[in-house]
Chains A and B, each alone.
Chain A
Amino acid sequence: MLAEAWYIAVREIKHFYRRRIQIVTSLATPIIWLALFGYALSGGLPGFSLSNIGIQGIPTQLTFIILALGLDPVIKYVLLNLTSISYISFLSSGIVAMTVMFTAMFAGVSIVWDKRFGYLNKLLISPIPRTSIMLGKMISATIRAMIQGIIIMVLAVLIGARIYTGPIGVMIAIPYMILFTLGFSGMSTAVGIKLADHEEFFGVINLILLPLFFASGALVPVELMPGWLQAVAYVNPLTYAVDAIRNAMLGGVFGPLGGGYALIGIGGSLLVDAAALSMFVVAMVSIGVTIFRKALK
């Protein structure tokens, strides 16, 4: 089953690198988001500074304490810059997670296209396990998401974000990105096999993607959200992906879970994320496989 899944994945990857425009747009979109959103809000959120000179590992709480102190605005400003990170550095991990999520969605898009152009029948008539088709799409989406995620990290540095941990941080982030893509692409292939055309697919997927994105820590730290939204964020798998990538890239608990998990430190926080994302993968893949098998009976 793995061999067949790999052959199918190779086909998808060939599609991707032969569509040059798709490569450009799939990288340009998140980078434009990062640049515009990152700089637009660079001074507007409490706890963020304009520069990247903040000291690594200082918890967000300290920032809030400084904000609350009745100091001279100039001193406050200097202190803030020393104890916090710029919004664009904070946001870059959120944008990496977003890129990974959007790429994972393409697993489902390609199922819809294959169905539309009859290629799915060609796969179905060959003597391969049904689930190898799903697995192939998931593998290709994961490879794509990894490549794009890493390129976005590099581009983010070029437009002014800082990865405090350097290449090691990037390496730590990768397994989390893989877990998240597997779970999400499993879900998107299941949605794809159920729906008739790509218009329906994008409708349903946007209904899932946008709320997930805004109700996660990708744009705003979770502890700045109102209580009910925090509750939503804590059951949102993207929150955990963002948190892991953020901890890996920043090397500190600036993350959306910074408040709650500050006490257990980076390592503990990463463990929580790993557990949450593993549960997400198991749940999504088993639901996905069931739907997939049923649809292709």
Chain B
Amino acid sequence: MPIVETNNLTKVYGGKFTAVDHISFQVEEGEIFGFLGPNGAGKTTTVHMLCTLTEITEGEAKVAGIDVRKQPDEVRKKIGLVPQDISVDDELTARENMELHGKLYHMPKSLINKRIPELLEVVELTEWENALVKTFSGGMRRRLEIAEGLMHRPDILFLDEPTLGLDPTSRASIWEYMRSLNKEGITIFMTTHYMDEADKLCDRIAIIDYGKIVGIGTPEELKGMLGGDIITVNANDREAFLNHIKNLDFVTEILPQEDGIRITVNRGETAIPKLFREANKIGVDIESISLNRPTLDDVFIKFTGRSLREEKTDRIELFKRMMLMKRRRK
């Protein structure tokens, strides 16, 4: 039986903006399911609808076999949420945060006292049990948030961008916790815009863009859809090169991108020399060439025509420009 089941789930804000557009999918019990998409794709809205926080505009959703619209209180007992914006209480200690959580879920005191040290050990915060959360780093807060979300042993744990803004070490340790939780039988539903995270961690992935699921499957299945390896080429005469390779029979797909022309081929190793030969024929020089096994980013480009990375570089550019302007003002 699927633990999450949606049918044409839709969220329209203010009668105008469709954040989630008739999506239907299932999450099987015991899997790590990932929602991959850029910012604003509708990932958080979907999670919030499943977690009873946002009203469903249209369609149905069942979590743990319970209708989210009809019995929200029953759903709440079965789920845990680690939100994107960390919301553990700064003015309380780690223990007090978890204690309050346990009380709100009507756990007996003995069970609360037993579980707090257990969970704090899992997330390696044992020493900070009685420290105020405002003294914690970002990674520690997120770990505490995860521990808190597990206090009442939910059937399914929703994690919204669980490693957003964390350093590589913290990310790795959070991945580790997620895997070990999953081994204990907790279904994990996570959202992310990091491809490597989705690729490494998830059993199955749904790619979401503009509120719609554009592809769903295991990472291997999704990458398999690309039908081969990817060669990224930069040539001095881009147009001429593009026009020429269009007609070659070993090329299955061509996607011109900013960082080069992405060419999908059956066998990358043999295609590279062929490409050089073809370039010579028309007098074009190849400036750089690289061969990659397909990544989820390639899958994303295939489905949406855009790269997940583009947005990120834009932001860094924007930030750099802002810093430059600030300096000039001084």
| Shortest CB distance A183–B (Å) | 26
Interface membership of B319, Cβ < 8 A: no
**Contacting pair B81 A119 (CB below 8 A):** no
From B73, B100, B132, residue with most partner A Cβ within 10 Å = B100
Interface membership of B318, Cβ < 8 A: no
User: Which of A3, A19, A121, A123 is close to B91, meaning CB atoms less than 8 Å apart?
Assistant: A19
8 Å CB interface, B112-130 against A: none
**Contacting pair B92 A14 (CB below 8 A):** yes
Say yes or no: A127-B87 contact (C-beta < 8 A), given A7-B100, A7-B103, A14-B92.
Answer: no
A118 CA / B87 CA spacing, docked (Å):
5
**Contacting pair B96 A123 (CB below 8 A):** no
Measuring CB to CB, which residues of chain B are less than 8 angstroms from any residue of chain A?
A: 51-53, 55, 73, 76-77, 79, 81, 83, 85-87, 89, 91-92, 96, 100-101, 103-106, 132
Sample 30 A-B pairs with CB under 8 A, ordered by A number: A3-B103, A4-B103, A4-B104, A7-B100, A7-B103, A11-B96, A14-B91, A14-B96, A15-B91, A19-B91, A117-B85, A118-B86, A118-B87, A119-B87, A119-B89, A121-B53, A121-B81, A121-B83, A122-B81, A122-B101, A123-B104, A124-B52, A125-B76, A125-B81, A126-B76, A126-B105, A127-B76, A127-B105, A128-B104, A297-B55
Query: How many A-B residue pairs lie within 8 Å, measured between CB atoms?
Result: 55
**Contacting pair A124 B53 (CB below 8 A):** yes
A118 CA / B91 CA spacing, docked (Å):
14
* Residue of chain A at shortest CB distance from B105: A126
Q: Which 4 residue pairs of A and B lie closest in terms of their CB atoms, listed nearest first?
A: A118-B87, A127-B76, A126-B104, A7-B103
**Contacting pair A117 B51 (CB below 8 A):** no
Instruction: Count A interface residues, CB 8 Å.
Output: 21
A4 CA / B51 CA spacing, docked (Å):
20
B76 proximity list for chain A (CB < 8 A): 125-127
A122 proximity list for chain B (CB < 8 A): 81, 83, 87, 101
| Shortest CB distance A125–B (Å) | 5
| Shortest CB distance B206–A (Å) | 22
B79 proximity list for chain A (CB < 8 A): 125
| Shortest CB distance A69–B (Å) | 60
From A7, A125, A128, residue with most partner B Cβ within 10 Å = A125
Measuring CB to CB, which residues of chain A are less than 8 angstroms from any residue of chain B?
A: 3-4, 7, 10-11, 14-15, 18-19, 117-119, 121-128, 297
A122 CA / B106 CA spacing, docked (Å):
15
B51 proximity list for chain A (CB < 8 A): 125
**Contacting pair A127 B77 (CB below 8 A):** yes
A123 CA / B100 CA spacing, docked (Å):
10
* Residue of chain B at shortest CB distance from A127: B76
A4 proximity list for chain B (CB < 8 A): 103-104
B96 proximity list for chain A (CB < 8 A): 11, 14
Say yes or no: A126-B101 contact (C-beta < 8 A), given A117-B85, A118-B83, A121-B83.
Answer: yes
B89 proximity list for chain A (CB < 8 A): 11, 119
| Shortest CB distance A87–B (Å) | 40
B100 proximity list for chain A (CB < 8 A): 7, 10-11
A14 CA / B87 CA spacing, docked (Å):
17
A227 CA / B95 CA spacing, docked (Å):
58
**Contacting pair A18 B91 (CB below 8 A):** yes
**Contacting pair B52 A125 (CB below 8 A):** yes
From B76, B81, B87, B101, residue with most partner A Cβ within 10 Å = B87
B105 proximity list for chain A (CB < 8 A): 126-127
| Shortest CB distance A132–B (Å) | 9
**Contacting pair B81 A118 (CB below 8 A):** no
A119 proximity list for chain B (CB < 8 A): 87, 89
B81 proximity list for chain A (CB < 8 A): 121-122, 125
**Contacting pair A118 B104 (CB below 8 A):** no
A117 proximity list for chain B (CB < 8 A): 85, 87
A297 CA / B89 CA spacing, docked (Å):
24
A229 CA / B92 CA spacing, docked (Å):
46
A119 CA / B91 CA spacing, docked (Å):
12
A63 CA / B130 CA spacing, docked (Å):
61
A44 CA / B92 CA spacing, docked (Å):
49
A121 proximity list for chain B (CB < 8 A): 53, 81, 83, 87
B83 proximity list for chain A (CB < 8 A): 118, 121-122
